[in-house]
Copies of this chain bind each other. A is one copy, B any other.
């Protein structure tokens, strides 16, 4: 099933309108690990994910990475860059085979004028997102690593989790390095922490795979 039609940006629009909007965009398919766009590219398009999953990340000069967030189908990105027509300071890398539709600035502006709901929806989406970044900024400022890792797992569980026989499994190939980048630490610390939790029976781990067997324990740990 294609969830694109439930995309938040198009809330309130009729199916006909959505079809017509999608028609104005350019389809594109990205292979796993390939980049949809890179930071410091001139950002010419904004994109809607139709299928698959992208990670948005920033890299610093030394190649260290911080993951901004993960994007699933129905989610929108790079609107920032397109509106300001500046450089987009993050890279979008496919985690699996991913289909997107892109619109350039002119098209987008035209569409927003024609369907003001798009602008209003975008406003609401951004409000939620700013909340989320602020929350994570807050956590990274005030909490210790283990706590942040716990929160990250829970967040990923909620946004990308599915029921498994032994708990809730996170359906993203998730390396220790990714988690480290996501929480602002190193893969070693992540590894140690996850090992400890596995010994406690809170999670089960494998190569790039995590199953949360005791979410409650994680929650109460993250709030301690």
Residues of A within 8 A of B (CB): 58, 60-61, 64-66, 68, 79-80, 83-84, 89-90, 116, 119-120, 122-124, 126-131, 133-138, 140-143, 181, 183-184, 223
Complexed CA–CA distance, A138 and B116 (Å): 33
Nearest B residue to A124, CB-CB: B83
Q: Are A135 and B83 in touch, CB under 8 angstroms?
A: no
Chain B residues, Cβ within 8 Å of A68: 134, 137-138
Nearest B residue to A140, CB-CB: B140
The 9 closest A-B pairs by CB, nearest first: A141-B184, A66-B141, A126-B126, A80-B127, A137-B137, A66-B138, A64-B142, A133-B133, A58-B138
Complexed CA–CA distance, A129 and B130 (Å): 8
Q: Are B142 and A184 in touch, CB under 8 angstroms?
A: yes
Q: Are B79 and A127 in touch, CB under 8 angstroms?
A: yes
Question: Which of the listed residues A64, A79, A128, A138 has the most CB atoms from chain B within 10 Å of its own CB?
Answer: A138
